[in-house]
Structure 1
Amino acid sequence: MPEVRLVGPNGEQVGIVRVEDALRLAEEADLDLVEVAPDARPPVAKLMDFGKFKYESAMKARDARRNQANTVLKEIRFRLKIDPHDYGTKKGHVERFLTAGDKVKVMIMFRGREQSRPEMGMRLLQRLADDVAELGHVESTPRLDGRNMTMVIAPHRKKAEARDDARREKERRRVEEGDSADEAPQTSAPTS
């Protein structure tokens, strides 16, 4: 005679009962009998509203997808002989990417005789890493790959944290602008 270990709708243990009795209890309570552990001896079944369970599972999965943030690998290219102003501009891009929570792959392209001076590329990458140290850390050290030298810098903060901070900052600015609009002096039309 087949038996199941029955769990009630609130998680309470009912005990080991025959399948027919479990089905009758489910029907009386207007619930479904769901087998939750078929490999157990005896199998475990639970009284639950299966439609509600599926709905709640779908909502949890949707919330998890919404809160998931994909870290993107941004790439920025340098030349060995870079102008100080161009370096500053590209460093600003790297800082912006790291602030947004993205990883940055920094690549130095060597041409001609520059290939015989990889230590200059190492110095440039080390300088960049030092300049953005408060926003990120070196995830993969500089390494020569053919005519290019690459290094990956990862942000200290996760993408989701950066996104939440940006959202809070935007909300704070919106509230401040709303307050300043309320404080603006009211002009009245002249009466004649």
Structure 2
Amino acid sequence: MIKNEKIKAAEVHVTGIHGEDLGIISTKEALAMAKQLKVDLVCTSLMSSPPPCKLIGAGAAKEQAQQQRKREQAPKLKEIRLTPQIEDHDYDTKKNQAERILKAGDSVQFVVKITGKEGARAKELLEDLIKELSDAGKKKTGIQLSGKQAAVQLDPL
């Protein structure tokens, strides 16, 4: 993101603070306008001539850059471990934790450790979690029962 004096083009196509088109003007005039309005002149693309620029509030430009970086990052996969004999309070805590992770944009993998004949209870537990978290995420994989664990992955909506 190039802003203010770092823009080297002679002319820029300026968009105002509220999205209005101000046309093609010299970079010096655009910078003077930005200083007068106490905002930043931010170049949005260097691929066209003249480059398109926007007048953006000082804090908003930084925030916009952070959001763009966040969108570019791949979602992380967080694992939450459970047992089939989980108590109600612990279940709610794990569910809330998963909801927070999904709303932050990361994926969640639930893993239920199985010993003996707890496979049916583990599958039931995971189905309940998927149903309750349907507003925050959707399942990427089906419930996978393998040996000593049952697992399912939820991706954010």
With the length of structure 2 as denominator, give the TM-score of the two structures: 0.55
Structure 1 equivalent of residue 131 of structure 2: 130
Structure with a larger share of its residues in helix: 1
Q: What's the counterpart of residue 141 of structure 1?
A: 142
1:77 aligns with 2:81: yes
Distance in 2, matches of 1:139 and 1:100, equals 17
Cα RMSD (Å) of the superposition? 2.2
Partners of 2:80 and 2:94 within 8 A in 1: yes
Q: Where do 1:1-192 residues align within 5 Å?
A: 56=46, 66=69, 67-111=71-115, 113=116, 116-156=117-157
Identity %: 29
How many pairs align? 94
Give 4+ residue runs of structure 1 displaced > 2 Å after superposition.
none
* Cα deviation 1:80-131 (Å, max 9, x = unaligned): 10010000000011000100011100000012x2xx2311111100000011
Residue segments in structure 2 that go unaligned for 5+ positions in a row = 1-45, 48-64
Long gaps (5+) in structure 1 = 1-55, 58-62, 157-192
Find the aligned partners of 2:146 and 2:75 in 1 and give their Cα distance.
Answer: 24
Q: Distance in 1 between matches of 2:125 and 2:145?
A: 13
CA distance in 1, matches of 2:74, 2:118: 37
